[in-house]
Amino acid sequence: MRQILAVAFVSCAVLCTNTAAWGVTVTVDPSETWLGYMNWFELPSNGGGYVNGGVWGTPDLVATFSGPVLTLAPNSINDPSPYWYTPSGGPGATGNKIMDANMYVQKDGSLAGQTVTFTGQVLSNTLASSHSSVAFIKDFAPDFSSFGIVTAPLTPGVFSISLPTVNDPARHVQYGFETKGPDVWITDVAQYGNIQVTAVPEPTSVALFALSAAAAFATVRRRASA
């Protein structure tokens, strides 16, 4: 029994060390507090310059959860003004701005100084070529004046990105999704497709420890019976 406990203890020590080295893993969790921020730009044909930005509700991005599944779709502004659409809003209208929709979780200080890994599973991606969407991790300076970033395209299958964050508790770490493309009139949204994303179940250190301990126990039993 002492041999079993010793082997199990060594296994736990190795696992605990590895867990610390891995850092923190986050995923597409609907129970988290998801925030929305929209930037918009002129069309490339109009110079592509930044116009404005502000806090938006996540349904307005468009980014919505149904159970564990997140759907990301092109933005639709319910305003027929030629500011937003050419010549004006209505079926078949052309978007007059590039919308940069950010849906994310923000952690202030708690993820500083760690390697943050963001994982998820892309169930489908039917987004039109006029639009794009990526998963991201951003590590902002305390005043949001600069940031480090890593991204991954949302192709069907599992994505996993990692970013070592700066060890400063005043910094802001965000992870989530950024969808870009021209605004689309509401009656035309379906033809532009969407993306569906969900979480990837991750094995816990407890499960790994149980597996390792069971293997150690079996090894000791074989030696004892030899």
CA distances from 97 to 126, 129, 170 (A): 22, 16, 34
Spatial separation of the C-alpha atoms in residues 14 and 137, rounded to whole Å:
28
Spatial separation of the C-alpha atoms in residues 121 and 119, rounded to whole Å:
7
Per-residue pLDDT of the chain (226 residues; tens, 9 = 90+): 544 434 333 344 433 433 334 499 999 999 999 999 999 999 999 999 999 999 999 999 999 999 999 999 999 999 999 999 999 999 999 999 999 999 999 999 999 999 999 999 999 999 999 999 999 999 999 999 999 999 999 999 999 999 999 999 999 999 999 999 999 999 999 999 999 999 997 665 334 444 444 554 455 455 555 5
What pLDDT was estimated at residue 214? 52
Please write the tens of the pLDDT for every residue from 137-150.
Answer: 999 999 999 999 99
> Exposed, middle or buried, 206 (CB in 10 Å: 0-12/13-18/19+)?
exposed
Spatial separation of the C-alpha atoms in residues 103 and 91, rounded to whole Å:
27
Maximum Cα–Cα distance across the chain: 85
Q: Tell me, which fold does domain 28-201 have in CATH? A: Jelly Rolls (2.60.120)
Torsion angle, alpha carbons of 121, 123, 126, 129, to 10: 10
Spatial separation of the C-alpha atoms in residues 89 and 202, rounded to whole Å:
45
Residue 204: name the closest of 15, 13, 11 by CA: 15
What pLDDT was estimated at residue 143? 97
Q: Give every CB contact of residue 180 below 8 A, 6+ residues apart in sequence.
A: 98, 99, 100, 101, 131, 132, 133
Locate the domains of the chain by residue range.
Answer: 1-24+203-226, 28-201
Spatial separation of the C-alpha atoms in residues 213 and 5, rounded to whole Å:
9
Spatial separation of the C-alpha atoms in residues 23 and 165, rounded to whole Å:
10
What pLDDT was estimated at residue 203? 61
What pLDDT was estimated at residue 12? 40
* 176, β-bridge pairs: 104, 136
User: What's the whole-model pTM score?
Assistant: 0.80
What pLDDT was estimated at residue 222? 52
Spatial separation of the C-alpha atoms in residues 171 and 155, rounded to whole Å:
30
Spatial separation of the C-alpha atoms in residues 34 and 197, rounded to whole Å:
14
What pLDDT was estimated at residue 4? 41
Please write the tens of the pLDDT for every residue from 36-68.
Answer: 999 999 999 999 999 999 999 999 999 999 999
